[in-house]
Amino acid sequence: MTNTLILKMIPTITIAIFIFFGFKNPSIKTSSYKCMIQMMNYSGEGAYISISLLNPEGVYEKTLFVQGDDDEWYSDITEWWKFHGKVRADIDAITGATIGGGERTVSIIEIDDDKINAGYKIRFESAVEDQAYYKDDVEFKLTSASVNSKVEGHGFVRYVRMMPQ
């Protein structure tokens, strides 16, 4: 191969590397957090809960975790579905089982460090089949204090406790 041919292939190779390894900026540090969700006592089916990152304007930016792995019911989490239904990112790696009344679960969520103390929020939406949907069952600003705290819920979620891993 000539040097000219190699030089012409560099942009193609660079794009292929970005596609293969993703476009994540390696200079952005990400931290893991344990996220415990304690549910209220209620009867009925298990709750579907989406955990989303909202930008400072309140717009969905990323799905952090979904409790409930049957995508047939995702549309019951109405506001989140408006975002996810358009984006359709693969969320298989960030899903878990539904959570029943009185139960608790612990999930690990990843948050970019540059989102902390920068006006971003986390929203927990909950829905239970044939019952109710709560758009902001739990919602709080991402701060150094809030990622190590307990926040009360307003619907099916009794509270959420976050802690750095």
User: What pLDDT sits at residue 114?
Assistant: 97
Contact in structure between 129 and 111 (CB atoms under 8 Å)? no
Residue-wise pLDDT tens digits, 2-12: 666 666 666 65
Residue-wise pLDDT tens digits, 87-96: 766 776 688 8
Provide CB contacts within 8 A for 105, sequence distance 6+. Answer: 36, 37, 67, 96, 97, 99
Q: Mean pLDDT, to the nearest integer, of 126-145?
A: 96
Could you give all domains of the chain from N- to C-terminal order, each with its CATH number? 26-164 (2.60.40)
- Is the per-residue pLDDT at 80 higher than 80? yes
Is this structure's pTM higher than 0.85?
no
Q: How many CA atoms lie within 13 A of 59 on its CB side?
A: 2
Residue type, 67: Q
Contact in structure between 150 and 75 (CB atoms under 8 Å)? no
Structure tokens given for 23: 């476009």
Cβ-defined contacts of 69-76 (< 8 Å, 24+): 69/95, 69/96, 69/97, 73/48, 73/127, 73/129, 74/48, 76/48, 76/127, 76/129, 76/133
